[in-house]
Amino acid sequence: MSTALFIVDVQNDFTEGGALGVQGGDAVAERISAYLAEHAGEYSVVIASRDWHDPDSNNGGHISDQPDYVDTWPVHCVADTEGAEYDPGFDTATVTHHVKKGQGVPAYSLFEGVTDEDETVADILDEHGVLDVDVVGIATDYCVRASAVDAIAHGRRVRIFTDLIAGVAAESSEAALDELAHAGAVLAESGA
């Protein structure tokens, strides 16, 4: 039996000072690094995702000059910009796979990303016999939620570390966690 850790979108544009920065994002980046320092060896794979949007494109309607903050968003995480890079508090030394998502299209789930070698997350999990997935990152109510929903849909047992996530809004984050728990995810603390 094999376990994966999903680290969702711990990027400069989603932490304090970024285009779509969430409160507590920098602290989550640092806590994830502390957790990895103690626990990375417990995982067969550690997969980190990044939004990686095409420049000079609305990325399938995902980016808008008049965003509604539901389906459309201001410019963020443009490929090869500082905003798309990992938060400096997130130590990526133990990450085994980096995936980029939203390359020209709207994408929320880590499962919508691919590695630079075009490997999908589903293929990585199958290759390593992963049955259990721990999920951390940003934002609870959007990309963390979508990644966990997809992991459950792909037949994995999911645990979400509630002390290693940060959301856009308290109410929608709580609703996302309630939905995930109802779908079978375990909500736990990492102990980091």
What pLDDT shows up at residue 108? 96
Measured at the alpha carbon of residue 117, what is the angle toward residues 113 and 123, in degrees to the nearest 5?
Answer: 60
Per-residue model confidence as pLDDT tens digits over 79-133: 999 999 999 999 999 999 999 999 999 999 999 999 999 999 999 999 999 999 9
User: How many Cβ atoms are within 10 Å of 15's Cβ, its own excluded?
Assistant: 27
Residues 127 and 125: their CA atoms lie apart, in Å, by 6
- Give residues with Cβ within 8 angstroms of 164, minimum separation 6: 28, 31, 32, 35, 136, 137, 190, 192
Q: Give 30-68 pLDDT, tens digit per residue.
A: 999 999 999 999 999 999 999 999 998 899 999 999 999
Look at residue 151 and tell me whether its pLDDT is greater than 70: yes
DSSP β-bridge partners for residue 86: 11
One of 3.30.750.210, 3.40.50.850, 3.40.50.1820, 3.40.50.2300 is the CATH number of 2-188, namely: 3.40.50.850
Contacts of 19 (CB under 8 A, 6+ apart): 13, 74, 75, 76, 77, 83
At 191, the pLDDT band (50, 70, 90 cuts) reads: confident
Q: What is the pTM of this model?
A: 0.96
Euclidean distance between the first and final Cα of the chain, in Å?
A: 23
Is 101 known to be catalytic? Answer: yes
Pick the catalytic residue from 51, 77, 100, 101: 101
143 is catalytic: yes
- To the query of whether residue 100 is one of the catalytic residues in this protein, the response is no
Which listed residue (13, 51, 77, 143) is catalytic? 143
| Beta sheet of 130-138, edge-to-edge order | 97-101, 45-51, 2-8, 130-138, 157-166, 186-188
Closest CA to 77 of 48, 52, 42, 100: 52
